[in-house]
Structures are given as C-alpha cells and as structure tokens.
Structure 1
Amino acid sequence: MPGEVIDRPNPEPNPSNLPDQVLDLKVKADKKKLPEDAYTSLKQFRRAANYIAAAMIFLKDNVLLEKDLSFEDVKPRLLGHWGTCPGLILVYSHLNYLIRKHDLDIIYVVGPGHGAPAMLASLWLEGSMERFFPQYSRDKNGLHNLITKFSAPGGPPSHINAETPGAIHEGGELGYALGVSFGAVMDKPELIVACIVGDGEAETGPTATAWHGYKYIDPVESGAVIPIVHVNGFKISERTIYGCMDDKELTALFTGYGYQPRFVDDLEDIDADLGNAFEWAISEIRRIQKAARSGNPIMKPRWPVIILRTPKGWSGPKKVDGEFIEGSFHSHQVPLMKAKSEEQQLRGLQAWLESYAPSELFDAHGSPVQQILDLIPETDAKKMGQLKETYDPYIGLDVPNWMDLGVKKGEEASSMQVCGALMDKALQANPNSLRIFSPDELESNKLSAVFDHTNRNFQWDEFANARGGRVIEILSEHCCQGFMQGYTLTGRTALFPSYESFLGIIHTMMVQYAKFGKMALETTWRQPIASLNYIETSTWTRQEHNGFSHQNPSFIGAVLNIKPGAARVYFPPDANCFLSTLAHCLRSKNYVNLMVGSKQPSPVFLSPEEAEAHCRAGASVWDFCSTEGGLRPDVVLVGIGAELTFEVVKAAQLLKEMVPELRVRVVNVTDLLVLETEGLHPHSLTNQDFASLFTEDRDVHFNYHGYGTELKGLLFARPGMERITIEGYREEGSTTTPFDMMLVNHVSRFHVMEYAIRGGARVNEKVRVKMVPLLAEIKHTIQKTREYIFAEGKDLSDTYDLGMFKGGGGVLYEG
C-alpha cells in the first residue's frame, strides 16, 4: 500500500490530538503536470458547464449574453442549487478525460441530488441531452430551451431524476448514493462507478453505513467504486461535520473504514491534483482486481477514496450585500435572489456570467467549441449520459419451474422453506444476475436452503474471502435497499427478505425509488427493468419470542400509497401459493412487489395446480370450507394473510358444528390490489366480478393481516360498504403466544365467528333466534382460552389442528 507522508501542509490548522503518525496513512500527492491540451479542454469544459448551470438558475432569455441583461431576461421564480455545481462539474470533466484516456465504462452517481444544473449542463455539452431530448439540441436553440425551461413547468427539475440521462439514483433524498453505487458494480467486473458524496450527505446514517460496502465486493466478479467525498464545508445554513475535520481526522476515519484516502485541494492547480488522484485510484483498483483475478487475492484490500476540498459555490459571486457568498452557505441555493428586481444584483449576475467568457466557449451556432469536444468520449456508448447500463440494461432471468417444488395438498409446509429451495435453484440458474440482500435474518426466516449451492459474500472474513456468493447479509436495511436499487437499475434482479417490523426503516428509500420508476416509465428511452422484490416474514402474527417492538405491518401501507402502476402486494395463504407468487415476481418488471408470508409450517390448502389458478385470479371462493361450495351464503368470510386465513377456515369449521343452519362462503384474497376500486389499479376487480365473490347484499367480514384502515381505503368506493366489517392489526400484543396475538387483535377464529353469526342473523331467522346464547358462549370461550394461555404459557394443543373439531355439541372449550 502506498503510505508515504504527504509533502504538503494541512489546508487547515489541526485542532485534534491525533498523532502525527496518522498522516503516514495519507497517500502522497503526485505532482505531474497534465498535457497542455488537456488543461485547455478541462478548463473550457468547466467554464462552459458552470456558465450553463448558472444561467439555468436565472435566465429566461438572452442565454448567451448577446446584449446586456435586463430584468425581463431573468426568470420570475429563481429556483435551483448553485453551491455544489462547480465541484460536480470539476469531477465530470475529469471523468471524461479518464474515459478517453483509458477507454473505461464509468457511471457517475451524484449524491448531492440538487446538483441537476451541473449534470444537465455537462450532459448538454456531451450531446446526451440532444440524444434523448431533441428539443435540447447542441446548438443555440437547444441551449435556449435547456436554460429557460430548467425548474420551470414542463422542464427538468432542480434535482437529478430518471429524466436525467446516465442517472441511476433519485436525487430527492440524501444518503443513498454510495449504497446504490456498490450495488451497481456487483457482477459487472469492468464497470467503475464514480460516486460523489457531499459532505452534507456524509452526515446521514445510510451513507455512514454504506462506507462498509467494499467489504462485500469480490474483485473477481465485480467492478469498483471510486468514492469522492466533496468537502465544501457547508449545508443550507450550517457547517458540515466533515468540513470541520482536518486531514488527520479524516485520514483516521477513512483508514478505519478500510480505505486509502487521498486529498485533492490544490486550488492553484486543481487539474493536476485531481487528474493524478484519479490515475492513482485507477491503478489501485487494477492492482486489487489483478491480484484477485490471478488467484492471489489481497486480504482486506484498501480501496481508494478521494477527499476533494473546493470552496462551495467556487467561481460564483464573492460577496453580495456585504455577505460572503463563495465559500459559505450563502452560495448553497441562489446567490443573487434579487436579480429580478434590484439593478445592483442584476449587474452582479451579468458580471458573474461574463466571467466565464461565453463568447470563447460557444461558436456562432451556439455549439461548444472544438477544445471542449476534444474532452468528450468519442463514441456515444462511452459517454456517461449514454452508457447502456444506465438506461437499457435488463438481463432476463431463467426462473425454475416452481411446481417441481410444490407440496402435496393437505400436508404442512413452511412457505419460507420452500421459497428458499426455489431461490436456491434460481441462483444456480442465474449465477451473475440474481442476488439476495438481507439483514442477518435468513436463517431465522427459514430461507437457509439458499446456501445449499452458494455462500455469503463477505470479503473481510477469512472464511468467506474470495469465494464469491450470491447472498449479502448486512445489518443495515439502508445498505440492503441501496445495493438492491443499484443492482436492479443496472439490469439485474434481487430479493430483499426481512423481518416485517423493520422494512419500515427503508420506507422513504422505496418511495424515492418508486418515484424514479414512475418518471422512467414516462420517458421514451428508458427500458424496462426488474421489479424490486420484498418478502416480509417473521410477522406480528407469530410472536413466539419477540415483543411489541417487532409488531409493525406498516410497510404494506407504504407500498399501497405509491403509484398504482407499480404497487403490488401479495398475501399467499400457503406454500404452493407463495411459490407461484415468488416465481411471478422474479419474472416481473417495473413493479414494487411486496410478498407477506409465514415462516412456520402451516397447512397447504391448495394443490400446485389450484394454487396457480388461485394466484392468477388474485382471489377465489374456497369451496372446500364453504357451505355447499359457497352457494347462497348468509355471510361471506374473507381471509387475507396466511395466519388470518387459517383463522377464517377454522371459524368456518367450528360454525358448521355450532350453528349448522348458517350458510358460509369463505373467500381468500392473495393479491390485495384486486380489492381496489374498479379502474384504479390494473388488478382491481370490476364491480361485477367483486359481487360474484362477495355477493351484492350479504354481510362480508374481512380478516386482514395489516392495518384495517388500509383495507377500508381500498374498499371505500365499492357498492354496499355498509355491509362490510374489517378486523386487522390493532397495535395490541407483547411477548405472548401466537394465538393470544389473534385474540388481542380480534382476528381469532372466535372473533370471526362472532361477525359471521351477527351477519348471518340479518338474513337467516334460524340463526337470529339463537344469536344471543351463541355469542355468549363464544365470549366465554375467549375468556377461558386466555386464562389457559396465561396459566400454562402456551396455546391449547389442538389450536392449529385443522381436523374437524372434536369437542362435539358446539362446545368450543373444554378444560
């Protein structure tokens, strides 16, 4: 490892007590000058991109300053973020130089999401905006359109999104860029992702954990990330933590993470400083990869990280109205907020824009001059805005025939165990395009069959190093989500299984991704990609050893709230249905798939063929536990969720003995979105189809796994809502038995029976005359059952026996 002491002073005094030896871990800065033509092209590219970025924030006309600016040339609403743009453009220019010099494939992931002006300006200069948006042609007319439409109705927003060529990261929320970058290079051995992490973003929890991402990158099978920490010192209105750390402190931090840090801060010759830093980074990456690919992997390789120090808002206004702008938080957004109304600020804007000398950068047609074009990769396929991995990357999966793993109807099976077996086969069939990202829960969730033919991929463990592996387990849901997003957006497919209660941690990440997906579908050039696939298990319905903190089905509602075109929520009631659902989700594209299921052995209600038909329909009448196959019911009982459906089936069995006069229809819903109002979701049933399942005039009771309000929202506009009752998770429970969880949340078989009797009594006089004593007996049974549970610490032995109830005579509890 290069470990020479750096031969230049710290850029700031060192107030820390860290020993001077810490500096030995810093990489010595090379002092090689760049070729003169490279200097010219780099500087002109930056001047042009900075000019365009600044003009985008301010100008609605006169975009090349062909006359003095007037108030009429300034936009009525000044929106955008200037402060980060010069640094982003600096890095973009050098990545172009690197691509041309070494023929590299590089994706540029930008953490400071509101740096869109920098990215759009650079993309316009390289011709990528014109490629995907002809209205932004690389001439005077296209430049006018880009500048005047930025952050205006119908134009590009101030943050990077799916409409930004080359982007694989939604810039609406900070913290995820680094995790996405690591996911993107997995199984792409020649790919490099240059990820710029702002020093504000570096304060977020997801970024802090993502620094460990390299510990899951096997250099044999995957590419590399070059993290660039952009330390410009300020957020919107406060200093940053990294900005207040000196070189020793940052060196200690990043060497502790496992990196080689190299500082770039020579403002007198920033091009030589950054250019040499990138050359060093590439050489270190190749050294690590060559060792691994020749069979002599480096144990705990130290990958490069670049710490880039430049002033915030560099090259912008120095001072406005007595306030420092460049190098302060005042440059974060719009430095001259009164340019539309105050002459002094208008003249300041003109002076700022003229400082870039646009007449030297654009020819008579408004196109970039040749020196700028000389920096841009020669072939479109190498341009960062047109790299195929960023917009048309999908690699289809070979999904095994799940029916080969089907379970015989009437047996018991764990849905998670059979899904583990299916994923084992799928991972074997797709050795370079399918991965599992999970917190440390695969064994607990009974998915361990995936390890029959693969490993955990953890490169900092001597027992896992250099062995590849399709499974990454890290106790950070943020990292799992970030890895999955980067992996999916560059063409592959992933599965994210988790305890139900903790998927809420990545709620906003999933929403940001869904927004990216929505906008991607609205472009003409982004091609379909695999769906995001989540499995929720270890749910609140089976709290054998975890308490109240582990009871949280709220991620269901999070998925329901995204755009209907993307949202898919499934509650497979048994192992065969889960196999069918998982196989479908692995093949699907452009969705957010949430599958909720049980890891404990439970009855298999449907044969593989029946399960396939049931899942295809999304919901169906279960004739085997209905009265006369569900004909002419007095009441309809609906189960949604494995354990909740079991309680409905058990209730139907008990009702046959206790009140044989009651005619019951049992319905299971496995695809939750079939219940959505007709026409509001691609899967929603028509009102006619809805009535065929749930009748037009009989009471319907839903036993639902999630929060009842979610289901009410889906059913709100269906005809006859007054006849529908719903029970779901009530935020009740603790460390207790599985059946006690059913009781305290009013979703037990006994509560289902109460609703059935009350509903049936409305139309069946024989039930009506017996209703009061029947309900009294059920309430008594609930009380006695809870007394038994608290006395014995367990459920009754026949609680999960699906054979006909043996008590006889309608007696629900004995003992």
Structure 2
Amino acid sequence: MPGEVIDRPNPEPKPSHVPDQVLSLSVDVKKQTLPEDANAALKEFRRAACYIAAAMIFLRDNVLLERDLTFDDVKPRLLGHWGTCPGLILVYSHLNYLIQKHNMDMIYVVGPGHGAPAILASLWLEGSMGKFYPEFSRNKQGLHNLITKFSVTGGPPSHINAETPGAIHEGGELGYALGVSFGAVMDKPDLVVACIVGDGEAETGPTATAWHGYKYIDPAESGAVLPIIHVNGFKISERTIYGCMDDKELTALFTGYGYQPRFVKDLEDIDADLGNSLEWALSEIRRIQQAARSGKPIMKPQWPVLILRTPKGWSGPKKVDGKFIEGSFHSHQVPLMKAKTDPGQLRDLQTWLQSYGPHDLFQEDGTPVKHILDIIPSPEEKKMGQLKDTYDPYVGITVPNWMQLGVEKGTEESSMKQCGKLMDKAFQANPHSLRIFSPDELESNKLSAVFEHTNRNFQWDQFSNARGGRVIEILSEHCCQGFMQGYTLTGRTALFPSYESFLGIIHTMMVQYAKFGKMANETTWRKPIGSLNYIETSTWTRQEHNGFSHQNPSFIGAVLNLKPTAARVYLPPDANCFLSTLAHCLRSKNYVNLMVGSKQPSAVFLSPKEAEAHCRAGASIWEFTSTDKGLNPDVVLVGIGAELTFEVVKAAELLREMVPELRVRVVNVTDLMVLGTEGTHPHALTDDDFDSLFTSDRAVHFNYHGYATELKGLLFARSSVHRITVEGYREEGSTTTPFDMVLANHVSRYHVMEYALRGAAKINERVRVRLVPLLAELKHRIRKTSDYILKEGKDPEGTYELGMINGSGGGGVMYEG
C-alpha cells in the first residue's frame, strides 16, 4: 500500500536500462586467493573487532562472557550505531594488511562517523588506544574499560571525533569526508588516504561535488585518495540512492566522473575480493604517480574507486521479533533495544556475541591472540592510529615582513590588492606548505597579485596542469572548506577568501571543525596546528554590480558563537591594518580567524607603524580625527569595519564644521573580541581598559559592519550599557551606489552625526539648545542626497574625500542639495 515501509532483507537492485557495454568499463580482475596465514589473521581481526564493537554498545560488565549474561550486565542506556561497523572493520583489517605489506603511510577517513565502535575496537586491537589512553591498554582491564565506558558519561563518544586516534575528521554532520581527504594529501607525496564514503553520505551535496577533488591533485607533488564507497543499502529508516542503483548505473556514474570503478561484493570470499582490489587500486595509484614524477604525466588519469557491497549489520542478528535486522535499516543503530528488560533479546545478545568466539580470540590476560597481531603494521608509527600526520603534523610557515608592503598614510589603497602582494611573497617563501582555496572570485576580489609567481592548480586544464600552482579555485564552498580542513589538520596553512555573503554556506562545516578543534585542545597528545583563515570581502557596503542577494555579513555571528579559545574576528579599517592582521593570522595556531575588509580603494588612516600598534591593541582612540585628541569628550563615536569607520571619521570631520562646540572622541575597533565582557574572551578588555577608551559615563555610538544584535550581545554585560547605541546592517539593500547602501542601513555619516548630537545634548548645553534645528538639517541632507542618487545614479561629488587623516582639520565636502 502507498507509504508502507517494506520490511525485507537487502534486495538486489533492479536491472538498469544502462547498456551492457557500460559495465565493461568497470574493472574486473581475476581474484587470487590470499596467503593462508593472512586470510586467517584477517578473519580473526574482524571477529575480534566486531565482538568488541557490539559489546561496546551493550555491556557494562562481563565483557568477555565469562558467564551467562544477566540484565545487570547490560547498560541502562543503549547508544551506538551497529549497522556500518562490520564494513568499517572489514576495510580497517585490509588496510592494516596493505600498510604492512608495502610499508606505506595511510590515513583512514571515515565518512560514517557514527561507526565509532568499529574504529575504537580496531584501534584497541592495534594498541593505539592504549598508547594515548593508558586506561584502555591492550589487556583485560583495558578492554573492560573500553567496552563499559563507551558512550557513557566520561567515556568515548558514539561518534568519531578528535579524541579518536588517527582521526582528522569530525564524524558528526555528513558530507565532508571526501573533501577533507583530498585536502590532506596535497603536498604530501607519500601519503594515501583511504576514505570510506557511506551510501547515505553519498546523497549529500558536499560529497557529490567532492568526487571532482582528484582533478585538483597533481600526482607529482601530492599523495592520493582512495575512495571506498560502502553500499549497504540503508540509512536510518530508508533505502539509499546508491543502494537502489545496480552495478551498471554506478559504473556509468563513476566512469563519467573520470574514475576506474571496481566492485567488491563476493560475500563468499570477501577477503580475496577486497585484498586483490586494494592491491589493484594501489598499483594504479603508483602508476599514475610514477608517470607524473618521471616528467611524463598522464593527462586526465583515471584514479581508482572501490564500490563495496556488504549487508548492513553483517554478522549481527538476522531477525528480532519477526523483523529482518541484518540487511535492513533495523540494524542501523541498536539491533536489540530491549536487551536490558526482555529475556528473549538478552538470549539473542548472548548468542550473537558468542558467535564471534571471543574465548578463541583473547588470551587469559585479555590480549589478542598472535594471529590478530600478525597483520598489524610495524613499526608503531605506521599504525593508522599513530601516524604523526594525524596528531603532530604542524610544519609552520615563514611569514614575510608585511611592512615592506605598507602604504603611505593619507592615500587610498585596496586592502585586498596589498594582501594579494603579501600572499605572493608568502607563496615564494613557502612553496609546499601554503595554499589558497577559494571559489571563483580571486580576480573580482582584487587578489590577483597572488599569481605573480604561482598558478592555479587544476589538473584537468592544459594551462594549469602540472605547474605546481598554490591556488585552487572551485565554485563549491564546501570543497574549499573540506580541502582547507584536511590541509590544515595534516600540518599546513591555508587561506579561504570569499565573497562575504556566501561564506555562510559552510557555516556548519566550520562549526563541526571548531568542535573537533575544541576536543583536540582538551587532549594531552594532539599538538597545535595552523588556524583556519577566512577573508570576507566584496562586502555588503560596496556591492556595485550585485544586489540584495550578495549582502549578508552573518558569518561574523557564526564565528562569534564559537568557544572563546577559538573565535577571532578582525575588521581592519585600512590596507596597513589588514596587512598586519593577515600576517598575524598566518602565524597563529588553533584559531578560526575571520578577517573582514574592503576590496575597493579606501582611505589609509594609519602608517605601517601606527597600524601595527593599533592591531596589537585591538582598539584605540584616533586622535587625528577627535576633538583635542579625544580629551574630555561629550560623545564617543566608534567605527568597526572599513566603510563604517570611514563614515565615522567623515561624521567627526563634518561635526567639527557644523557644531564646533561639540567635543568628539573617535575610537576604532579592529579586533571585535576586545569588546566582550571582561573574562569572557582572552582578548576582552578589562572594565577599566574599556572605560579608558569609551569613558564611564558618556554616550557611545557604534557604527558596526555586521548585525547590531551581535555587537549588543558582546556589550551586554558592560557597565552603563544604557548609554550605548548601535547601528549595523539592517537587511536593506539593492543594486545601488555605495553611499545609498549606508544610507539605507542607517550607518551613513549623517546617521552617525544624529546619534552624536543626541548623545552630546545630554551633557552639553550649547548642543542641546541647537539640537532640533541641527537634526532637521541632517534629515534634509539625507533626503536631498537620496534624491540626487536616484536621479543621477551616482554618489555626490566629494562623498569620499577626507581632510583629517594627516591632521589638516576640516575641509571635507558635505552635499548641500
């Protein structure tokens, strides 16, 4: 009947209309039987790991079944995901064997991150859990601790995370494993990343685009990713798309992507099938790499991909209460949910666990039998849980002296043009440990100076192929983020510049990464790594050729919500400050750095030395545009963001002409985190320092680049917050002139002047008596300026002229209407 879930074991996909010739494009190599000792060791490793994984989900005691199970032996809360575990363990065992045979460096990236029991069990067997966590040593007590503490308070979580040895990928949100894997192998020519992509994860947009990641891998300079698609047919409660595609359809799909697909599905002799397939895949990888490294690269090489078909929940219960478990979605999480209270399910649990023969797999002291240990890689550092690339990889970079690129104070310059020049020098100094990952925006963002001594890296383009380019441009923000994560987590440094409005696309990816970083910092064995570095430009204030869709500064709030140990948000007001900030961020470790700035030429307020001091402080009083160097102000005006700061400086200049009796202090904030309440962030100003900038009793107005609510949240607990007003982006915009944008969002010089007059009138009698006519004059100027822009299609002449940067006083142009 319509809408009914058909409860049946994993059916074969129906035949496809795809021609038989397509199937011949997949690789079908005759299987050779594995050596007898290896065959036995692989099977015993899997039995032991599957036993441990299943026991981790259920048992709180009696972990080696030394007596019959009782209800007291079962955990009160059954948490975990069994369905994917047998497949993950199968692959882990064979990767061990491959590493041992070829003495190679390999990372195992697991897309189905909820299969943590499989990975933790395998890590325990190889001794990696014991290396990093003595309480999980490879003995009877260590095994008891691992099984009984899994997914309980204080124990390993049910998802792979930074506490998992060998992991470089947060196993929470799906879709990112493949992109991370490609980033990890860049500039690491000897590294192979085996990436398991679950058929559920394969349905996500980020994964769909990441299949093209190998087109950005130069086999002469980088390692290789071996994708292994685990097709077990089911998600939590539904069939998967790939699970409903037959071999012909999948062959057509991956051949079209440019891969050589090979199917692994012989359940009668899965070890020979998978073992031979991995050997073939490695030989293809080496063939492609050898050609590239001998100076005769293969244009558009077909990299291998394995498609592994095994039943979901393989080797688990076949049926429970009349429902199919193995080979159906019922095995996805906990197959025996009533094992704590139902005698029949408790018996089923004991039968299931005993089917692995634990007494034949573990010696009396709890250590695995020798056969299992025989296929585990040696030396220690070759084990997938102990490869240094995964936990202590940082190589650092040489950051050029940015002051050599400093711009003369009082001129105009594009911050992005200068940053492009700094990155050009940085690429020359760090040819193998620094990259840019960006959507197709570098030229429009005025960063093209990066191409003075490097190229784009796109292997499918004859003009970019095999030229060692440091820049990868792909229009998938998800791929840029995934590449950057993998590249950074394996020790290198990267930069992600983007249009401001579209960084929000990878908001949750960034958050997942930050969660990984938080937990990594809380371990004792993971070492610091480079920061994630974002540049937001093409901002909402200067969208000359784009419209409302391109106006969205919300990524600032996404970073603000991170843990204070990670979050860093910078809004440098000019080119010199941006150079100083970028140099700092490239050197920093363990942060998520967001830099927001203008690509258009804008005023340079500070000399290089002044910029360095200002950025070091995070905020300072700008004496050159304040009244009497900022002493005894009636009101404090604060600019945060390049264009917003310009409007504040212009407002102060015009106020000096219009209301000379008004005393103004101008403050610029370049490090947003200094505004947080004392003690909430490492950069937060003390209350005394806050008052030294903003006074303790005067009206303060913030002209802020982002959403006003973000800033209000930072300032909420400061004393006398009632005296503070904030204007920011109001979600108003269109394709219009720059000044019309600031008018529409109430952050123009005229709106700043209005706040200044209202605030100063509370304590300055001479301002108060003129307040009403002054405000009327401002409203008149706003209306006349808007009318002019609507009629002429441009901003009034002199809108962006300043006369105060070099201390020359007034003289700026104010539109008279």
TM over 0.5: yes
Give the equivalent residue in structure 2 for 1:365: 365
Rounded to whole Å, the distance in 1 between the matches of 2:462 and 2:607 is 45
Letter in 2 for 1:213: G
Take 1:452 and 1:25, find their aligned partners in 2: how far apart are those partners? 42
- Structure 2: unaligned runs, 5 residues or longer: 1-10
Counterpart residue type for residue 782 of structure 2? I
Superimposed CA distance per residue, residues 595-647 of structure 1 (whole angstroms, 9 cap, x where no aligned partner)? 00000001110000000000000000000000000000000000000000000
3-state DSSP of counterpart to 2:263 = strand
* 2: CA distance, partners of 1:630 / 1:803: 17
Question: Counterpart of 1:170?
Answer: 170
Equivalent residue for 1:34? 34
- 2:731 matches 1:731: yes
After TM superposition, give the deviation of residue 23 of structure 1 in Å.
1.1
Deviation at 1:576, TM superposition (A): 0.2
The structural deviation recorded for 1:16 is: 2.0
Write out per-residue CA displacement over residues 547-569 of structure 1, whole angstroms, 9 at most, x where no aligned residue: 11001100000000010000000
Q: Write out aligned runs for 1:148-159 (5 A).
A: 148-159=148-159
The AA in structure 1 aligned to 2:615 is C
1:129 aligns with 2:129: yes
Matched, 1:84 2:84: yes
Deviation, 1:89, is: 0.2
Match of 1:399 in 2: 399
Paired letter, 2:737: T
Aligned to 1:543: 543
What is the DSSP-based 3-state SS (H/G/I as helix, E as strand, rest coil) of the residue aligned with 1:91? helix
1:380-409 deviation per Cα after TM superposition (whole angstroms, max 9, x unaligned): 100000000000000111000000000011
User: Structure 2 CA distance, aligned partners of 1:807 and 1:114?
Assistant: 64
Do residues 813 (structure 1) and 789 (structure 2) align?
A: no
Q: How does 1:51-130 map to 2 (within 5 A)?
A: 51-130=51-130
Matched, 1:351 2:345: no
Cross-structure match for 1:283:
283
SS at match of 1:702: strand
Task: Report the Cα offset of residue 810 of structure 1.
Answer: 11
Instruction: Report the alpha carbon displacement of residue 807 of structure 1 after superposing the two structures with TM.
Output: 14
Asked if the contact 1:778–1:812 (Cα under 8 Å) also holds between the matched residues in 2, the reply is no
The aligned residue for residue 190 of structure 2 is: 190
> Is this contact kept in 2: 1:530–1:587, CA < 8 A?
yes
The amino acid across from 2:208 in the alignment is: A
Closer/same/farther in 2, CA of residues 765 and 361 from structure 1, 3 Å limit: same
Residues 181-235 of structure 1, C-alpha deviations (whole Å, 9 max, x = no match): 0000000000000000000000000000000000000000000000000000000
Residues 500-531 of structure 1 show CA distances to partners (whole Å, capped at 9, x for unaligned) of 00000000000000000000000000000000
Structure-1 separation of matches of 2:804 and 2:336: 78
Partner of 1:618: 618
Question: Do 1:614 and 1:620's aligned partners in 2 also have CA atoms closer than 8 Å?
Answer: yes
Residue aligning to 1:264: 264
Distance 1:12 1:321 in 2: 24
> Do structure 1's residue 556 and structure 2's residue 550 form an aligned pair?
no
SS in 2 for 1:106: strand
The CA deviation at 1:808 is 9.8
Aligned to 1:694: 694
Q: In the alignment, is the contact (CA less than 8 A) between 1:658 and 1:811 conserved in 2? A: no
**In the alignment, what sits opposite 2:493?**
493
Contact kept? 1:658, 1:810, Cα under 8 Å: no
Alignment of 1:782-793 (within 5 A): 782-793=782-793
Residue 140, structure 1, aligned to residue 132, structure 2: no
Structure 1 CA distance for aligned equivalents of residues 25 and 352 of structure 2: 40
Partner of 2:714 in structure 1? 714
**Secondary structure, aligned partner of 2:651:** helix
1:302-322 deviation per Cα after TM superposition (whole angstroms, max 9, x unaligned): 000000000000000000000
Q: What does 1:582-621 correspond to in 2, within 5 Å?
A: 582-621=582-621
CA distance in 1, matches of 2:696, 2:603: 31
Question: Could you tell me which amino acid in structure 2 is paired with residue 402 of structure 1?
Answer: W
**Aligned residue for 1:749?**
749
CA RMSD of aligned residues (A): 1.4
Contact kept? 2:13, 2:243, Cα under 8 Å: no
Q: Structure 1: which 5+ runs fail to align? A: 1-10
**In structure 2, do the counterparts of structure 1 residues 60 and 261 end up closer, same or farther at CA, with 3 Å as the change threshold?**
same
Q: CA offset at residue 12 of structure 1?
A: 3.8
CA deviations on 1:104-133 (whole Å, 9 max, x unpaired) are 100000000101000000000000000000
Q: 1:595 to 1:809 in 2, by over 3 A?
A: closer
CA apart distance, 1:734: 0.6
Distance in 2 between residues matched to 1:810 and 1:352, nearest whole Å: 83
| Aligned residue type for 1:441 | E
Matches of 2:706 and 2:57, distance apart in 1 = 45
Q: 1:556 to 1:326 in 2, by over 3 A?
A: same
Alignment: residue pair count: 806
1:803 shift after superposition: 2.7
CA contact (8 A) 1:457 1:467 kept: yes
Whether contact under 8 Å (2:625, 2:804) holds in the other structure is no
Does residue 325 (structure 1) correspond to residue 329 (structure 2)? The answer is no
Q: How far apart, CA to CA, are the structure 2 residues paired with 1:492 and 1:523?
A: 20
Q: Check conservation: 2:798, 2:814, Cα contact below 8 A.
A: no
SS in 1 for 2:535: strand
Length-normalised TM-score, structure 1: 0.98
Q: Distance in 2 between matches of 1:568 and 1:667?
A: 20
Percent of aligned positions that are identical = 83
- In 1, the alpha carbon distance for the partners of 2:733 and 2:270 equals 61
Distance in structure 2 (CA, Å) of the matches to 1:757 and 1:438: 44
2:461 match: 461
Per-residue CA distance 1:266-297 (angstroms, 9 max, x = gap): 00000000000000000000000000000110
Q: Is this contact kept in 2: 1:14–1:248, CA < 8 A?
A: no
Deviation at 1:29, TM superposition (A): 2.9
Say if 1:761 and 1:771, in contact at 8 Å, map to a contact too: yes
Q: Partners of 1:721 and 1:465 in 2: how far apart?
A: 58
**Using a 3 Å threshold, how does the CA distance of structure 1 residues 36 and 751 change in structure 2: closer, same or farther?**
same
1:231-250 alignment, distance < 5 Å: 231-250=231-250
Q: CA–CA distance in 2 between the matches of 1:14 and 1:60?
A: 43
Q: Kindly state the Cα deviation for residue 379 of structure 1 after the two structures are TM-superposed.
A: 1.0
Kindly indicate whether the alpha-carbon contact (under 8 Å) linking 1:657 and 1:810 is maintained by their aligned counterparts in 2: no
CA shift, 1:804, in A, is: 6.7
Q: Distance in 2 between matches of 1:720 and 1:800?
A: 34
Given the superposition, is the C-alpha separation of residues 789 and 350 from structure 1 closer, same or farther in structure 2, using an over 3 Å criterion? same
1:1-32, CA deviations, whole angstroms, 9 ceiling, x for partnerless residues? xxxxxxxxxx9465321111101211013210
Superposed CA deviations along residues 50-98 of structure 1, whole A, max 9, x for unmatched, are 0000000000000000000000000000000000000000000000000
- Aligned ranges for residues 474-493 of structure 1 at < 5 Å? 474-493=474-493
CA distance in 1 between counterparts of 2:758 and 2:272 reads 81
**Distance in 2 between residues matched to 1:46 and 1:221, nearest whole Å:** 35
| Partner amino acid, structure 2, of 1:70 | T
Corresponding residue of 1:6? none
1:809 CA drift (Å) = 11
Distance 2:31 2:791 in 1: 78
- Cα distance, 1:813–1:370 mapped onto 2, change above 3 Å: same
| Matched position secondary structure for 1:25 | coil
Aligned to 2:521: 521
Provide, for residues 425-476 of structure 1, a one-character-per-residue CA deviation record: whole Å limited to 9, x for no partner: 0011000000000000000000000000000000001111111200000000
2:6 is matched with which residue? none
Q: Cα gap change, 1:316/1:809 in structure 2, threshold over 3 Å: closer, same or farther? A: closer
- Structure 1 70/807 Cα, relative in aligned 2: closer, same or farther at 3 Å? closer
Give the counterpart letter for 1:137 in structure 2. Answer: S
- Please give the alpha-carbon distance, in whole angstroms, between the structure 2 residues aligned to 1:604 and 1:24: 64
Alpha-carbon distance in 2 for matches of 1:155, 1:277: 36
Taking the aligned partners of 1:524 and 1:482, their CA distance within structure 2 comes to 26
Distance 2:815 2:254 in 1: 64
User: Cα 1:339–1:563, aligned 2, differ >3 Å: closer, same or farther?
Assistant: same
Amino acid at match of 1:325: I
Distance in 2, Cα, partners of 1:311 & 1:813:
74
Letter in 1 for 2:816: E
TM-score (norm: length of structure 2): 0.98
